[in-house]
Chains A and B, each alone.
Chain A
């Protein structure tokens, strides 16, 4: 037997890629659901996170106290419990949600979980905009709404972009917990392969490699973003 053949035999024994290829469709479907859940939750949590950041900054105690309580509750309880509360608990409050697909409830739970984290990042971005910017906007007779829309928010979002991307990476990893409520995500595709073929290496190492690939893309994107935001001086830094 040639070296190459013995190597292939060893490889197939350790990691049989033919089995993985048989499950390509399921893995692709799982990957799609993972990316869809992460994408939808990202959009919703950015929208609600901005609103929550404003609520938290409000001077009215009737507004900022509930907002703060919500933020603290989410930060001090595990995501898995939050997912269970939404998935098992919500239908007993609102019966019609019991007929919703798992994916919808999963996106809802992830949005509820990610919104406070996004809100805290956005709030710190708003607070970090220099006072002179607001004074400048007032000097050109902008209304409070215009100041927020054209001066403060654009800077708040660009300055916190690295942190927002970091939270997005966490969100993508968090989608793996949706496998616990029967959403057919990437991890569930791996679990299916493992339970049907009893091949844990093929099931879980493949899934881990795909998550790593997604993460690698995000790392490259956030490096680029940081270099871009760093501006000309940063780009001329000694290597």
Chain B
């Protein structure tokens, strides 16, 4: 090895940091869009409508039953090839769509579970106060459900952050892809560079996981 490990680490760091910023941006977008979609679908599914709830259940099964990488390839290759003009998107949009839909499947399940876990008496009480369905949801059910689902949601977000590494295969230059590019510069230091990439992921997923555990403990205590 001509250059020392430290020198290699220092010279690849700017690229990796740029990748980290990209990863954080993609994760944030996935969290926002995925949660919004998941919240909407979860609220609908949580109320046992005759046709909507089974339809959403089917959607969840399809997303749960296929690997994220396959979903990503469908968003990247299949949808733009359907001939529908607004589906002809670039790789960043495809990656964001795939990540958001992937996240929404988990959020939907968690939100609908949280809504069902609120006792039926709460619905009846709200109705007895002459609230309509929307008002009962907004002022009575959702605030209680959100408390129950917070730890699970945080867990989903950590999974999402880890899943963003997969979008490197469609050429998004996030952290993992920047690692691959850096390895083209220093082919002898594969282990070192992937080690640094892993350490960067670890340094922000680990505190996030600890936060999830803390939230779970707090929810279990019933504060």
**A190 surroundings in chain B (CB, below 8 A):** 70, 73
On chain B, the residues within 8 Å of A72 by CB distance are 206, 209
Q: Are B194 and A81 within 8 A (Cβ)?
A: yes
Q: How far is the CB of B186 from chain A (nearest CB, A)?
A: 12
Residues of B within 8 A of A215 (CB): 61, 64-66
- B77 near A173 with CB under 8 A, answer no
A88 touches B194 (CB 8 A): yes
B219 at the binding interface (Cβ < 8 Å): no
Contacting residues of chain B (52-84) with chain A, CB-CB under 8 angstroms: 61-62, 64-71, 73-74, 77-78, 81-82
In the bound complex, do residue B81 and residue A81 qualify as a contact, i.e. CB atoms below 8 Å apart? no
* Stretch among B106-114, B124-132, B161-169 lining the A interface: B161-169
B contact face: mostly helix, strand, loop, or mixed = helix
A211, B67: Cβ atoms closer than 8 Å: yes
- Residue pair B69, A176 in contact (C-beta under 8 Å): yes
Residues of B within 8 A of A216 (CB): 65
Knowing A89-B190, A200-B81, A212-B62, say if A76 contacts B201 (CB, 8 Å): yes
Within the complex, the shortest CB–CB distance from A10 to chain B, in Å, comes to: 13
Contacts of A200 in B (CB 8 A): 73-74, 77-78, 81
Chain B, range 117-170, C-beta contacts under 8 Å to A: 158, 162-166, 168-169
User: Which of the residues A88, A93, A177, A214 comes within 8 Å of B166, measured between beta carbons?
Assistant: A177
Contact code string B203-223 (vs A, CB < 8 Å = 1, else 0): 001101100000000000000
Query: Roughly how many angstroms separate A79 CA and B68 CA in the complex, as a whole number?
Result: 12
How many residues on chain B are close to A (CB under 8 Å)? 39
A228 contacts the other chain (CB 8 A): no
In the complex, how many angstroms separate the beta carbon of B151 from the nearest chain A beta carbon? 15
User: What is the chain A residue whose CB lies nearest that of B205?
Assistant: A76
Per the CB 8 Å criterion, the residue count for chain A at the interface is 41
A97 at interface by CB-CB < 8 Å: no
What chain B residues lie within 8 Å of A203 (beta carbons)?
Answer: 77
CB contact list, A187-212 vs B, under 8 A? 187, 190-191, 194, 200-201, 203-205, 207-208, 211-212
Report the minimal beta-carbon distance from B64 to chain A, rounded to whole angstroms: 7
Q: Is the CB of B166 within 8 A of A205?
A: no
Query: CA–CA, A201 to B78, complex, Å?
Result: 5
Q: Is A51 an interface residue (CB 8 A)?
A: no
The answer on a CB contact under 8 Å between B176 and A177 is no
Q: How far is the CA of A148 from the CA of B15 in the complex (A)?
A: 51
A129-186 contacts to B, CB under 8 A, are: 169, 173-177, 179-180
Name the residue of chain A whose CB is nearest to the CB of B180.
Answer: A84
- The reply to whether B67 and A187 contact each other, CB–CB distance below 8 Å, is yes
Q: Which of A79, A84, A173 contacts B194 (CB 8 A)?
A: A84
Pairwise interchain contact B195-A85, C-beta atoms closer than 8 A: yes
Question: Do B206 and A85 touch (CB < 8 A)?
Answer: no
> How many whole Å from B185's CB to the nearest CB in chain A?
14
Is the beta-carbon distance between B67 and A81 smaller than 8 angstroms? no
Q: Which chain A residues border B61 with CB–CB below 8 Å?
A: 212, 215, 219
- Which residues of chain A are within 8 angstroms of B158 by Cβ–Cβ distance? 76
Question: Which residue of A76, A84, A169, A207 is within 8 Å of B70 (Cβ)?
Answer: A207
**Nearest CB to that of B78 among chain A residues?**
A200
Interface presence of B197 (CB below 8 A): yes
Please list the residues of chain B having a beta carbon within 8 angstroms of any beta carbon in chain A: 61-62, 64-71, 73-74, 77-78, 81-82, 158, 162-166, 168-169, 176, 179, 183, 190-191, 194-195, 197-198, 201-202, 205-206, 208-209
Q: Can you add 4 more A-B contacts, CB < 8 Å, to A84-B179, A173-B66, A215-B64?
A: A72-B206, A169-B64, A190-B70, A212-B65
| Contacts from A to B (Cβ < 8 Å) | 72-73, 75-82, 84-85, 88-89, 92-93, 169, 173-177, 179-180, 187, 190-191, 194, 200-201, 203-205, 207-208, 211-212, 214-216, 219
A-B contact pairs, 8 of them (CB 8 A): A81-B179, A81-B194, A175-B67, A176-B70, A187-B70, A200-B73, A208-B70, A215-B66
